[in-house]
Each structure stands twice: as C-alpha cells, then as structure tokens.
C-alpha cells in the first residue's frame, strides 16, 4: 500500500496523533474579553495561553516544536 493510500485510511484518532511529537497549533482566542493566543498539541489539548502571537511562536520553538497557525 502506498503512502497516500495509508493516509486516506487513517482513523480520525490516528490523524490527530500525526505530528503530535513535532507540532503545536497556535490560534487567536478571546478569554474573559481579552485577546490572546492558545497553543494546542496536535491532539487538540491546550498546552498554553499567551498574550502575544510572537511570544507564542517563540515559546513553541523554544520547546523544539514547529508552530502552525490556525485561522
């Protein structure tokens, strides 16, 4: 089975775990009326809430993860 076919047959859970070791997703959020940036693991678990986008990206990189912006 080629790589593309294996990816197409992945379950939602397997897809969520893909990249869990390497990626962190950053999304702008509003909490109690204050704008900030939530950092999430690949499985959707929130791991940080930071006040600034640049700080969020820098923090993720400091932990040897690749930041990905979510819109």
* pLDDT for position 17: 72
pLDDT digits (tens, 9 = 90+) for 23-64: 899 999 999 999 999 999 877 899 999 999 999 999 999 999
To which residue do tokens 């990189």 refer? 61
Q: How many domains does the chain have?
A: 1
List all residues 6 or more positions away from 21 whose beta carbon is below 8 Å from its beta carbon.
none
For 8-12, 15-19, 37-41, 56-60, which range has the lowest pLDDT when averaged over its residues? 15-19
Residue 5 pLDDT > 80, yes or no? yes
Q: Could you list the residue range(s) of the whole structural domain that residue 17 is in?
A: 3-70
């Amino acid at each position: 089975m080629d790589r593309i076919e294996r990816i197409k047959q992945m379950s939602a859970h397997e897809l969520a775990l893909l990249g869990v070791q390497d990626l962190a997703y950053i999304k702008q959020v509003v909490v109690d009326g204050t704008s900030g940036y939530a950092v999430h693991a690949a499985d959707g678990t929130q791991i940080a809430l930071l006040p600034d986008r640049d700080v969020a990206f820098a923090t993720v990189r400091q932990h040897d993860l690749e930041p990905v912006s979510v819109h």
